[in-house]
Amino acid sequence: MTAELVVMNLEGVALAADSLVTVGREKTFDTVTKIHQLAHGLPVAIMLYNAGRFMELPWEVVVQEYRRHFATSRKKYLKLEDFVDDFLEFLKVNEAILSTEDQQSIVVARISDSLVEAIVTEILDQFKKDAFEMAQRISETRIEQIIENVISSRLKSISDKPVAFENDLEAFETELRKRHTDIILGLIKQHFDNLPLTEDQRNAVVNFIVMSFLRHWENPLYTGVVFAGYGVEDLTPKCISLDLEFLICGQIKHSNRTTTSIDFRTNSAAIIPYAQDDVVHTILSGRHPNFLHDLGKRLVREVGKERADELIKEVEQARFYGYTAPIMQALTSLPKEDLPLVAETIINLTSFMRKVSMRLETVGGPTDVALITKKDGFIWIKRKHYFEMQYNPRFIQ
């Protein structure tokens, strides 16, 4: 996990990110760079969180390839949205380089493995529940029924999800099945080794996995990608984020595209957290995000749901005008030199809160900080290096 932040007002946009990456459930490294200048000489940055690689390639390699592409394309991007669209198109056009057959097979296997494992886990959990409730061994008929119910439920659930691609959906599905069905079947055999599975059920699991590639769902293996800065015609900063999953069989899957723009009327300042955001919300609202939920449950028991909803609404209104509004008002007039300090401080506070908790420290390491303004472009405020600068004069030049 990680903690990242974008702070914007009319003066510019600051980005801050920690350096920690979690591998598995216990191993961490605190040397990862998550902020990159997207194109040399231009006021645009890209910030990354969650998965540290795209199609098994380190993100810094992907970004560097895009920089080379941009340097030779001689395009002028009038809006920040143009950078985002061109970046996605660059990935798709360069599939043969950035997403080879081997890379695609690995990614398909990783996603499919997590899906099959989730099905088997749900089945086994149901076995344990039934065995505990009945205090006896489950019959073979009941075992078959549980397997059928879980697979059918999963298939129906994914069928109700929105389609991920507007064009060439059938062609993508056909190509996906042609190239990767053997991988999926191998994983099904591996995970269902000790469970009875009919041919129809096996086909249903394959269909479920294929449909998971075709539709939007909460895939934990995504990379959060944040673009921030200015296009040529942008007079105020913007921030555009999306979840990027894969580039397979000619299709690039992304979702949850969100744009935050600074303007002169309704949104003259913004603090936008990514990944772990509880500390940010605590600072902005004067309470932990879980507090209102816990308070609501207590109020429902004490005064009933209708009155509880009224009280929660009053509390939220008082919270906004008493805590959030003054902070945002001050941020609106903050000089550009202070924007990086705000972003860095909140990231460091998040790291501190993880350090004094009993959970795994999932935020930490040096904090990288950058500032982007219309006049000066992309400026590093703080940046870690994995080498000593004094021994690398060519890098400085």
pLDDT 10s digits, 89-140? 999 999 999 999 999 999 999 999 999 999 999 999 998 888 777 767 778 8
Q: Evaluate whether 31 touches 365 at the Cβ level (below 8 Å).
A: yes
Band of pLDDT at residue 396, cut at 50, 70 and 90: confident
Residue 243, domain CATH: 3.60.20.10
Asked, for residue 317, whether it belongs to a domain, the answer is: no
Asked, for residue 298, whether it belongs to a domain, the answer is: no
Span of 41-45, 90-94, 197-201, 311-315 with lowest mean pLDDT: 311-315
Q: How far is CA 320 from CA 34, 211, 281, 315, 326, in A?
A: 32, 42, 12, 9, 9
Between CA 303 and CA 334 the distance in angstroms is: 43
Asked, for residue 365, whether it belongs to a domain, the answer is: yes
Residues 207 and 225 in one domain: no
- Facing residues of 224 across strands? 49, 243
Residues 204 and 120 in one domain: yes
> From start to end of the chain, where are the E strands?
3-9, 12-17, 21-23, 27-29, 35-37, 44-50, 53-54, 57-58, 223-229, 238-248, 251-261, 269-275, 368-373, 377-382
The number of distinct structural domains making up the chain is 2
- Facing residues of 373 across strands? 377
Q: What is the mean pLDDT of the chain?
A: 91
Mean pLDDT score, 272-296: 88
pLDDT 10s digits, 7-34? 999 999 999 999 988 776 667 788 899 9
pLDDT 10s digits, 48-81? 999 889 999 999 999 999 999 998 887 778 899 9
Domain that holds residue 190: 101-156+168-212
Residues 53 and 29 in one domain: yes
DSSP letter at 236?
Answer: S
pLDDT 10s digits, 185-224? 999 999 998 888 899 999 999 999 999 999 999 998 899 9
- Give the residue, 226 or 265, on which the prediction is more confident: 226
Residues 77 and 138 in one domain: no
Residues 66 and 14 in one domain: yes
Specify the pLDDT at position 293: 82
Asked, for residue 391, whether it belongs to a domain, the answer is: yes
Say yes or no to pLDDT of 5 above 90: yes
Specify the pLDDT at position 26: 67
Between CA 147 and CA 119 the distance in angstroms is: 9
**Residue 174: Cβ within 10 Å count:** 12
Residues 245 and 382 in one domain: yes
Residues 268 and 376 in one domain: yes
Sequence-separated contacts (24+) of 191-195 with Cβ below 8 Å: 191/113, 191/116, 191/117, 191/119, 191/120, 192/116, 192/120, 195/120, 195/123, 195/143, 195/147
Most confident range, picked from 11-15, 281-285, 297-301 = 11-15
- Facing residues of 382 across strands? 369
- Facing residues of 272 across strands? 6
pLDDT above 70 as % of the chain: 99
Band of pLDDT at residue 327, cut at 50, 70 and 90: very high
Residues 186 and 246 in one domain: no
Asked, for residue 230, whether it belongs to a domain, the answer is: yes
Specify the pLDDT at position 93: 94
Nearest to 368 by CA among 73, 6, 1, 35: 35
Give CA torsion, residues 302, 303, 307, 312, to 10 deg: -20
Give CA torsion, residues 145, 151, 154, 155, to 10 deg: -120
Specify the pLDDT at position 318: 87
Specify the pLDDT at position 24: 64
Instruction: Say if pTM beats, i.e. exceeds, 0.85.
Output: yes
Residues 261 and 361 in one domain: yes
Residues 105 and 133 in one domain: yes
Say yes or no to pLDDT of 273 above 90: yes
Asked, for residue 46, whether it belongs to a domain, the answer is: yes
Residues 224 and 337 in one domain: yes
DSSP letter at 221?
Answer: T
Between CA 241 and CA 84 the distance in angstroms is: 9
Specify the pLDDT at position 31: 86
Asked, for residue 274, whether it belongs to a domain, the answer is: yes
Q: Evaluate whether 5 touches 15 at the Cβ level (below 8 Å).
A: yes
